Amino acid sequence: MVCGDLHGHFEVIYSKISVENTLFIVAGDCGFGFNRPAYYEELYSSKIRRYLTQKNNAIIFIRGNHDDPVYFDGLSFHKKRAVCAPDYSVIQTARHNILCIGGAISIDRTRRLQEQNAGFLYWKEEAPVFYPQKIKEITNSKIKIDTVISHTCPSFCPPQTKEGIQAWLSQDDDLHHDLEKERLVMDQVWETLKKQEHPIKQWWYGHYHRSAWLKQDNCYFRLLDINEMDHLF
């Protein structure tokens, strides 16, 4: 199952999920970095681990713009049943080869930077990055990617407008350009995967706090709202 943004509401994992024998993948904005590392260690040890073990579930977190990239190095938060996955990680299951790519642009970054002294609110390395060599390495390994889970999405996916963020655009001269660049990065990922003949059938993402879907080029693009969950097919 794929889950939309948690924004630190980790209780969704251990209080609202009733299924068993399931791998959950959170499509970014998990909430890592807003508290000290000991907080996440204690939360996992005291609540999340017990739930995952009892239900025989596991969870993989993908980096969002509201996550500290430090946690997503493959080592800093790596438990038996819960992992913060580095960008361009490949998850292989019985039915799918899933490429995970984190990152996006915070539309409210000007406010977050102004309030940064109050706590960790913004990380300058938040944007997604196009790494063609990493995709080439996957291709050379003969792994065929059929599913992508990311935080943001290609430019042709919903939402298609910047409706509702005009106030943030007026406060940040570079925001429009950076938002366009964010989507172009994901366009490059999409085009590179297709060029290298990966059979992409589904692409899941969060970030935009709404629910939507699109079918294009025989691929199902699915946007998940906050805490929304749905099954891969």
Tens digits of residue pLDDT in 216-226: 999 999 999 99
* Adjacency order of strands within the sheet including 147-150: 89-92, 97-101, 147-150, 202-205, 219-223, 212-216
Lowest mean pLDDT segment, chosen from 64-68, 114-118, 161-165, 228-232? 114-118
Q: What is the pLDDT of residues 2-59, one digit of tens each?
A: 999 999 999 888 777 789 999 999 999 999 999 999 999 999 999 899 999 999 999 9
Of 139 and 118, which is predicted with more confidence? 139
Q: CA 151 to CA 179: how far, in whole Å?
A: 13
Beta strands 23-26 and 2-3, pairing class = parallel
Q: What is the DSSP-derived secondary structure letter of residue 88? A: T
- Residue 118: which residues within 8 A CB-CB, separation 6 or more? none
Residue 94, SS3 per DSSP: coil
* Residue position matching structure tokens 């300058």: 124
Q: Model-level pTM?
A: 0.95
Q: What is the DSSP-derived secondary structure letter of residue 85? A: P
Q: CA 48 to CA 55: how far, in whole Å?
A: 11
